[in-house]
Structures are given as C-alpha cells and as structure tokens.
Structure 1
Amino acid sequence: MNIAVDIDDTLTNSFTYFQSYVAEFFGTSLQELTDKNISYSNLPASWQAEELAFCRKYYDRIVPKTPFKPDAAWGIAQLRQRGHRIIIITGRTTAFYTDPVATTQTELANGQIQYDQLICTLNKAQACQQEEITIFLDDLVKNCQAVAQVQVQPILFNSPENTQQSSQWPRVNDWHQAVGLIESMTD
C-alpha cells in the first residue's frame, strides 16, 4: 500500500521548536506565544503579511535541525518492513526555501527517516492522487479535508495547533498509535 506522510508536526515537533524563532522575528515573547498557542503554522492575521519574510529568513537554516518525534523513525521503518511504500509529501516550495528538496532530504537524514519518495508541493491532494495513496498522515485538518475529497483515508496526527479543532478522521498521538491504526485498517 502507498502511505503518504507529512513532516512538520507529524514526523517532527515543529510547532514548539519554531516558537523561539517566531518570537525573535515578530518581536514578542516566547511566553506570549505559548500562552496564545501560536507558532509558525497559525500566525495571527496581523502577522501573516510577514510570513514569507519569516520563512526566507529561517527555514533553510533551521528546518534541518528540527527535532523528530521519538518514535517517528521507528514507525516509518515498521511500515516499510510490512511492505508499505512511504511517500513523504510536504508543503515546501521555492517560495519558502532556496532548495526545498535538499533542505528536506537533509532534515529526513538527520531524523533517520527511511522513505521511498519525497514530494514537495502545496497541493497534497493532487500528489496523493498521482501516487495512488491509500492512507495519508498529516497534522493539518485542511490537508486531511483535501485528501478525503479525492478518496484518500486521512489520519490526523495530534499537534498543538489542531487539538481544539473538530475532525471526523481518526486521530493519533504518536507513531505507535499510527502504526497500530494503519495495521487495523489494512487487515
């Protein structure tokens, strides 16, 4: 089976890691961001005009050092050992990165993530269709909605951004749960 996996807050702990950079760039305190549950992926509307400048200043430099979830490499390895093809689909483009593929390959190597293919695109639903994806793991509700519309089964990875959002899809907290759920879906 072809399984698509997002990176930020699915394989990694990006939300918390990026907060100090968001605080630095936007001139606010880390405590304020923590109190208001704000990071790179859910900037207030008044800050969004500067989002591209933020990305260009930090992403190439800091993304390869993003900490991975403790069980991410294990979970992906388990799925591959069970015969599944792993396609990493991440919303990274040259609008945000000098070289999104190279930066992402370095990051995945740092996290010891084994995968079969890497796709950098903002249109994850289209990528899922082209790669004949069966199951898609992501932390953003909007991405899960998009892939569900093209008959791909989403699994929502809980993250600080989405815990207050309602979702009709199964949720997981870690890669042990993700592997167990995928196996139950494929039996």
Structure 2
Amino acid sequence: MKIYNLILLNFYFLQLFPLLFGMNPGEGPSGSQEPAKHRAFNHLKAQISSLLESVDMSPLQRINLEQQYGDYIKQYELYSTEYDNLGLYLNECRNGLKQNQNNPDYDTDKIQEEIEETERMLRALKHHQNTVLGNMQGFYNYVHITFVEGTTDQSHHGQGQPDQSHRGQGRRAGYRGSGSGI
C-alpha cells in the first residue's frame, strides 16, 4: 500500500510541476487560463495533502514568523520579570537572615532552606532565559539565511583583504585627470 501511495504521490507531483511554472500539461506558457490553473493547483494540493496524511506525514502549517518571534520576546520578558522578582525575594530573605541571626525565635534553618530553593529557581530561570535566547538566535539565523542571504548573490571580500577595486586610487595610482574620461 505504501508503494502505491508513493507512486501516486509522484504522479501528483508530476502533474503539479508544470502548473507551478505557469504551463499547462502538454502546452507552452499560457496566461489565458489562470482560474483553471488555480483550480487544478488547489485540487492537486488537496490530493497530495490527503495522501501525505494517509502515510502519517501531514504537511506543515505555515509559520507566521513575526508572531513566532513576538512569542519568543514575550517568553523572555516573562522569565526576566520572574527572575527579577525572585532576585528581590532572595535579597529580602538574606537581609532577614542577617538581621535576625542572633534572634532565638527566628527559624534560620527554614530561611536558609528558602534561600537555597530560591537560588535553585533562579538558576533554572536563567537556564530557561538562555534557552529562549538560543531559540531567538536560531530563529534570527534561519530568517537571515532564508530571506537575506538566500536572496542576494553578491561576492564578499575576505576579512583583512585589501579592496582590489580601481576606484578611490586616484592620486595614489598617478591619475590626475578631471574625471571626465578625456
């Protein structure tokens, strides 16, 4: 059954391929049948999606990049706020322990346990913050590579390499003309 599905999927992709490039099967480029192309494209897309779902490979949902990055920022801000609040609480506990160190009615063991637990929570929050920062950096790299580097085809000079261009060498190279090219 899986081989049949793969053959069928291959067939659908072969039918879809010309539609992606603006050609109807068996014809050259055509601009007069736009609605028919869209219907055929949507029909094949639905067939491919259902076929992929039948082999437990459902198509991925589109990712809203702006929303995902905003979610990372909100998550980082929540961790930062919680980290700051726990830091203030830790300082209060330490100050209370220091002020009541000689007070026999003050339970220093309980406060010391509270300090240790708060420090553990702070380390965990810091780890979560670093994880979110790593996710944000990975997300930035993905967007940069996909949408910035993927769209440019420019050569780059190596770091520390002198520029090999003839521009800007005017007087150093002995050119003293007016720049008019005569």
Tell me, yes or no, whether TM beats 0.5: no
Q: TM-score range by the shorter chain?
A: under 0.3
Bigger proportion of residues as strand: 1
Q: Which has the higher contact order (CA 8 A, sep 6+)?
A: 1
TM-score with structure 2 length normalisation?
Answer: 0.20
Bigger proportion of residues as helix: 2
